[in-house]
Amino acid sequence: MEQSVGDPVPLAKFRSDISRQFQYYLDKATPHTSGRWAGTFALLLLYAIRVYFVQGFYIVTYGLGIYLLNLLIGFLSPMVDPEQETSDGPSLPMKGSDEFKPFIRRLPEFKFWYAITKALCIAFMMTFFSVFDVPVFWPILLCYWVVLFVLTMKRQILHMIKYKYVPFNIGKQKYGGKKGSASSSMSKD
C-alpha cells in the first residue's frame, strides 16, 4: 500500500511523538515544585523586561493579569463551595465538633502552575506581533487591575474567614503535647 504525498499519517505520528515527549518532561518536572515555580518566575521576569523595553503590549499584559487573577481565585477556592453546596459530599468543617475534611482546591497546584506558564508563553509570543500592540493609556489599566485585585481578594479572604478554611498547607501540624517531659528526660541523662 503506497502513501500519497498528502497522507496525514506521518504528521499524526510526528504530533504523537512530540506530545509523548512533552508529557514525559512534564511528568519529570511534577515533583520539583520549587524548580518549576523558579522557572515560571524567570519567564515572568523575561516577559516584564520585554514589555518594558518594547514600551507596549499593555493590553496583552492586562489580559494576562486578569487571567492570572482568575487562576489565583481557582487556586484559593475549595472544590466544593460551602455557600452553594447542600449535598452529602465532602464539605469544610464549620464547628469544632465537625469531622475534619481536608482542603481540596478547585484548581490543583500543578494545573495552576501549568496554566500560568502556558499563559506567560502565549503572552510572550504575542509581544512579537504588532497587531497585539494596541495603544492605550496604561496607568488606567493598572489602576483598574489593582482595584479589581483588591476587591476580589477581599471577597476571597472574607469567604475564607466565614467558612474557616486555609488554602495553604505549611508543613506538618505541630501539637502542644507535654512540653516538660522532653526537657526533664534530657536533664536526667
DSSP assignment letter at 174: -
Give strand ranges (E) for 63-165. none
Cα dist from 187 to 170, 176, 178, whole Å? 32, 20, 15
DSSP assignment letter at 170: -
Q: Give 14-63 pLDDT, tens digit per residue.
A: 899 999 998 999 999 989 999 999 999 999 999 999 999 999 999 999 99
Closest by CA to 135, choosing from 16, 30, 55, is 55
Asked if the model's pLDDT at residue 188 lies above 70, the reply is no
Average pLDDT, the chain: 83
Asked if the model's pLDDT at residue 168 lies above 90, the reply is no
Asked if the model's pLDDT at residue 65 lies above 90, the reply is yes
pTM (2 decimals)?
A: 0.74
pLDDT band at 7 (very low <50, low <70, confident <90, very high): low
Closest by CA to 136, choosing from 42, 76, 65, 58, is 58
Angle, alpha carbons 176-181-184 (nearest 5°): 135
Q: Which residues contact 36 (CB under 8 A, 6 or more apart)?
A: 29, 113, 117
What span, in angstroms and rounded, lies between the C-alpha atoms of 50 and 172?
A: 40
Say what the pLDDT of residue 80 is: 78
Say what the pLDDT of residue 141 is: 93
DSSP assignment letter at 115: H
What span, in angstroms and rounded, lies between the C-alpha atoms of 72 and 186?
A: 47
Q: Which amino acid is at 43?
A: L
Asked if the model's pLDDT at residue 189 lies above 90, the reply is no
- C-alpha cell belonging to residue 29: 518536572
Q: Give 77-132 pLDDT, tens digit per residue.
A: 888 777 776 555 555 555 665 665 677 788 899 999 999 999 999 999 999 999 99
Asked if the model's pLDDT at residue 4 lies above 80, the reply is no
